[in-house]
Structures are given as C-alpha cells and as structure tokens.
Amino acid sequence: MSKVELVCPAGAFPALRAAVDNGADAVYIGFRDATNARNFPGLNFDRETAAKAIRYAHDHHSKVLLALNTYPQPQTWSVWCDAVDQAADLGVDALILADLGLMRYARDKWPNLRLHLSVQGSATSHEAIALYRRLFGIERVILPRVLSMPQVARVIENSDVAVEVFAFGSLCVMVEGRCYLSSYVTGESPNTCGACSPASAVEWKETANGRDVNLNGVLIDRFNQDESAGYPVICKGRFKVNGKLDYAIEEPTSLSVLDILPDLIKIGVSAIKVEGRQRSPAYVAQVTKVLREALDSAQKDPLTYRPRQEWVSQLGRVAEGTTHTLGALDREWQ
C-alpha cells in the first residue's frame, strides 16, 4: 500500500515550522502577492523567507509546494511568470497551478518542475484531468470539495494522475474557481486578487445592536458579544429571508475525514490536504499532529482503525463554527 501524504498549510514561517515539526509530509505556501489565493496582509513569503522555509522543510524531510493558483490578467502576466521562475530557482518540490497559460509557461521553461492542478482549476472528471495530463504533464490533481466518495473513487479508478483530497478545514459552497459572490459585492474576483473578502473591503463596526461586519458597505453579519467572529465572507453571512434571519447560503462548519480515512486509503487517494493558510500556527500544529497520528493509525491497520475521542475533540475545538461534517463525500445522491 502506497503511503498517503499529509499536506499542510503554511501562511508564514512559524506555521510552516509547526507543520513540519508535527509530521507534515509536505507544506504548501504562497508568495506575498496576488499570485496565490490567500493574499492577506501579514501572510505569505518573500524570496528570503521562502528560501529559509524550503531549507527548513528539506532539512526535516518535508516537501514544499508553492501555490500560484490565481489567474493572471493580460496586464499582470509577467508577475505570474516571474513567480514561476522564482519558484523554480528556489527549488520548490512542485507548483500548484490553475491557469492553463501559466501551466504551459511552466512546462515549456521548466520541464523538470513538477506540476499539480489546483482545486481552483475545478477539474471534477477523469476526462478533464486526462486533458491537463496530456497538455501539461500534471502529476497530481486536488479535487474540488463537491464530489461524493463514489465519484472520487471513479476519478481515481480511471486516471493515472495522483489524486489529493481535502481532509480538514473550511468548506466552500461553490465549486472552487467558479465563485462570483465576492466579486459581485466587492468588484474584485478572488481568482485574480487572491482573497474572497479583500481587506480593503472589510469594515467592522461596534454598534448598540452588536458587532457589525460590512463588505464594501454591505452588512453581511452581526455578532453578539459572546459570539466569535470569523473571517467575513458573503456565503457564510446571515441574512433575512422570508422573515427569518439565518445562514441563508452556508453555515460555518469544517470538513473532517477522520471517520473515513481507511476508505480514502482503500480507493487510492495519494494525499490528504489541510485547509487554512490564513489560520494560526497553533491551528496548524494541532491539526497536523492529530491527522499525522490518525493517518498513521489508519494506514497501519485500516480494519481496526477507529477515530480516538481526543482526536475528534481536538479538531472540534479548531473547526469553523466548532462543528464538522463529511460534506459532499457523504452524500447519497450524485
């Protein structure tokens, strides 16, 4: 049985160190600009810190994957190409790409550089994945979080490309790479600016009714003093519909595959991924440690594997909305 890789997020060097020290087989990072889909102030890596991070990871036998998973525009094409060149010079183990033009550039200029198809590429069928393989030589695909378990198994069965699936972290109600909610309100697409809610569009206000959060002047949620306020996005805001105020699109919750790790191993998943480059080093350390133990246990003896209660509790404490779900993986309809 092939070893399943544990791929963990690193929004900055402390998070990268937390992931590596707690057993991540690979970490994924981004540059400090709009070339990655977590383009937040204070996050990500410049060339110097990226070089330091790669040295640290490689010294501890972990791989570094670089996310260039947004879409360059004609006027910014050179920025994305420069990012590919810089990543190759730094010696990353793979690029995570979504844009076809950028894949072609990377394949032509750096033919020995390993390419992964980002979840932002929205490839949900083995036919689509085969096309990326034939045209650009991709070696791994990260599947969107909209497929059921039988659909994931069918992709793996019919593809010679390694498959990575999300294991823990925030869910997205949309097929990744195809969301227009944020751009409708802010005028900026997360696929080009690198953030669902650009910092410049977010405004918090303390009012007599509670803590209001506005996105480009649109009230998307109001929190009481005893409520924790997470990262504000349209899809997880609360709105009044038919006279009822509630989460109209999606409730805050996290995906967790603890219960089905043996099933994922059995169908041939090559890697499981933790979402959360925007989360703290403490989050990264805790989730990495739990999933390292769980994955090792499931791979050692999948027939007797059972999630330990402490694993469930520890992940529950850092889950969005303090709840977790199997999401689309558990759905009966396809």
pLDDT for residue 278: 92
* Dihedral angle over CA of 291, 292, 298, 304, nearest 10: -80
pLDDT for residue 281: 97
Per-residue b/e over 135-166, b at no fewer than 16 CB within 10 Å? ebebebbbbbbbbbbebbbbbbeebebbbbbb
Phi and psi for 234 in degrees, rounded to 5? -55, -45
Asked whether the predicted pLDDT for residue 1 surpasses 60, the reply is no
Joined tokens for residue 256 = 């967790």
pLDDT per residue as tens digits for the range 128-147: 999 999 999 999 999 999 89
pLDDT for residue 334: 63
User: Max alpha carbon distance in the chain (Å)?
Assistant: 59
pLDDT per residue as tens digits for the range 3-14: 999 999 999 999
pLDDT for residue 172: 76
Question: What sign does the dihedral 160-115-2-4 (CA atoms) show?
Answer: negative
Of 334 and 65, the structure prediction assigns the larger pLDDT to: 65
Phi and psi for 227 in degrees, rounded to 5? -100, 140
Joined tokens for residue 214 = 């506005």
Q: Could you write out the DSSP letters of every residue in 158-189? A: T-SSEEEEEEEEE--SSPTT---HHHHHHS--
Of 243 and 106, the structure prediction assigns the larger pLDDT to: 106
pLDDT for residue 51: 98
Residue 45: pLDDT band with limits 50, 70, 90? very high
pLDDT for residue 193: 82
pLDDT for residue 177: 66
Query: For residues 140 and 131, what is the distance between their CA atoms, to the nearest angstrom?
Result: 13
Residue 126: pLDDT band with limits 50, 70, 90? very high
Share of the chain above pLDDT 70, in %: 98
Of 322 and 271, the structure prediction assigns the larger pLDDT to: 271
Residue 277: pLDDT band with limits 50, 70, 90? very high
**Domains in the chain, start-ordered, CATH in brackets?**
5-171+253-330 (3.20.20.70), 193-247 (no CATH)
pLDDT per residue as tens digits for the range 197-231: 888 889 999 999 889 999 999 999 999 888 877 77
Whole-number average pLDDT of the chain? 92
Helix axes 100-109, 126-136, angle to 10 degrees: 40
pLDDT per residue as tens digits for the range 144-198: 998 999 999 999 999 999 999 999 998 877 667 667 788 888 888 888 888 888 8
Which segment of 96-100, 128-132, 188-192, 270-274 scores lowest on mean pLDDT? Answer: 188-192
Asked whether the predicted pLDDT for residue 103 surpasses 60, the reply is yes
Q: What is the mean pLDDT of residues 50-60?
A: 98
Does an H or E element contain 256, and which?
strand 254-256
Of 173 and 80, the structure prediction assigns the larger pLDDT to: 80
Asked whether the predicted pLDDT for residue 249 surpasses 60, the reply is yes
